[in-house]
Chain A
Amino acid sequence: MKAAARLLRRLARAFVVVALVVIGTTFLVRSAPGYLSDAREMDARYGNAARAELSAEAAKSGSLKQLLQTEITGWTHGDLGISRQYEVPVAELIAPRLAVTGSLLLRSIVAAWLLALCAALVSSAGRRPSLLWQSPSTLLLAVPTAAMATLCMVSDHGGPVLVMTLLVAARDFKFLDRMLQKAWREPHLLQARAQGLSTPQLVLAHILPSIASQMLALATLSIVTALSALVPIEVIFSVPGLGQLAWSAAMNRDLPVLLAITMIMAVAVTLAGMPADRTGEWQGA
């Protein structure tokens, strides 16, 4: 009963967060400079047509309240709106890109976990923190994502999956390394090692289960890292995913598309964070 109430509370919280994000995004995009401008206004051939279109739009969706009303009534009918830059339904734009981005994220996160786990197992097994293992991950995190992606592309080595894997792996490695360091030094493990239990048995029977509870926190961390790197990676490698769409929507003030993508990301992060909240992070709360 208590668990159900807690779950309901968390769902309600997630809903409130997403609702506030929607209002905030609408306000930011609508107030940002250039919402009702179009590059075609500069072209003498197309200027009049562009201006007519824009004034029609201003009449329809001038104020923030009007905009929000149109958007929310649309969603309640399952209609995500029409994209301002492509003039097609937003759902039609997002569906194929969701698959592309999902595949990129999934491949990168799985590969990153494998990479980070192996590296962390080897690194944490040493007697003291090894600089050799710490440096690559610190290095990877120090390079701005855009620079890394650009260098990969310009040198023709590696693609979007590689860059994202390295980034997520670097962040996960630090997390896993810290956890595994603690796990290796548990008293019962020291005893088991003294009694001659082999390393694979130790890893499988004791280490992995003890960190399993933290896996959800790891998942949140991975997803948040991957999502924050998504836009620069997709834009630089021209991957037709949600990140690239979000960037072009931002540049073209395409509010319906931006809202849809922001909602998807907010839901993803909030839902990913929910179980993690329960297991470890809010110990003090």
Chain B
Amino acid sequence: MIAQSTAFKRTALALLCGLVVIALAMLTLPGKSYSAQDRDQLLAGASSQHPAGTDALGRDRMIRVASAFLLSLAGAMLAAAATTLAAAAVGTLSAFSPATLGRFAMLICDVFLALPWLFLLMMVRSALPLTTSPAHSAAVTFLVLAALGWPACARAVYRGARQLRNAEWMLQARATGLRSTQMLRHILPNLMPLLLPQFLISIPAFIIAEANLGALGLGIGEPLPSWGGMLLELDNSALLMRTAWVYLPIGLLILILLLLEAVAAEV
């Protein structure tokens, strides 16, 4: 059973890496740009020039999907790393602090989870200078998502760290007078089995979050492609009737998310 699941994970990881390589290769093709508008071929079907057709502004769909994939994967990994680090710091510190401080930290996490984060996003969006390039605004979007995502992670880390704190070997170490800084050297490796899955699970979560934001219009600026921007095409039945290629982004998104979850899954 375990061997089977590891083989499954390996296949999923290999597929993902394959997709990344293909996407990178597509972007390096000469004469291809994600923003070039072929104004004579709007919502066209597959052709030799445009293998997956074009969107409503005549831009090549294949290149845009490849760019969106790489951008969101990179952004989501960045955000997942930031979130996991922040959650690890907060969770561990709270777990090893006096109980009241720990409970207070978790209270703040609960409050955070209940706030209408939409306004924070609007505020950040509005506070950005208007001339911020789409790439910078994309980075800011993912960082804000990371800033909003750590409470969920922190609770899980807190629980895990508390269990560690009450483990027998830890009690023995404390009894023999081990200082807190020395304890950290022992804690962190033991938390890795908890942190790594959190990191891996966060990646698809951030991809979906960015896609939802894009569908709300708070996502990444044009002409940079994003899943959210492309999913917006789906809410218009008029577009759906023109060409079946509009389903490519959502189909690919689901495939990528499935692969990511397979890599992150615990048996």
Contact = CB atoms under 8 A, between A and B. Distances in A.
Q: Do chains A and B touch in the complex (CB under 8 A)?
A: yes
A142 B204 contact: yes
Interface in B220-248: 231, 234-235, 237, 240
A29 B121 CA distance: 11
Given A142-B258, A284-B166, A258 B116 contact: yes
A20 B108 CA distance: 9
Given A17-B110, A142-B257, A147 B234 contact: yes
Interface string B240-265: 10000000001001100110010000
Contacts of A222: none
Interface stretch (B15-23, B78-86, B208-216): B208-216
A285 B165 CA distance: 10
A227 to B, nearest CB: 10
B258 A33 contact: no
Interface in B116-157: 116, 118-120, 122-123, 126
The prevalent SS among residues of A at the interface is helix
A105 B211 CA distance: 25
Interface in A253-285: 258, 262, 265-266, 269-270, 281-285
B247 to A, nearest CB: 9
B237 A29 contact: no
- Residue among A145, A154, A282 with most chain B CB within 10 A: A154
Contacts of B254: 139, 142-143
Contact of B107 (A17, A31, A258): A17
Interface in B1-59: 1, 4
Contacts of B175: none
B120 to A, nearest CB: 6
Interface residues of A, number: 42
Contacts of B204: 142
B212 A13 contact: no
B212 to A, nearest CB: 5
Interface of A: 13, 16-17, 20-21, 24-25, 28-29, 31-34, 128-129, 135, 138-139, 141-147, 150-151, 154, 232, 236, 250, 258, 262, 265-266, 269-270, 281-285
Interface of B: 1, 4, 103, 107, 110-111, 113-116, 118-120, 122-123, 126, 159-160, 162-163, 166, 204, 208, 211-212, 215, 231, 234-235, 237, 240, 250, 253-254, 257-258, 261, 267
19 contacts: A13-B103, A17-B110, A21-B115, A25-B116, A32-B126, A128-B1, A135-B258, A142-B204, A142-B208, A142-B253, A143-B254, A144-B215, A154-B237, A250-B119, A262-B116, A270-B110, A282-B159, A283-B159, A285-B162
Nearest 4 A-B pairs (CB), nearest first? A142-B257, A33-B126, A284-B162, A28-B119
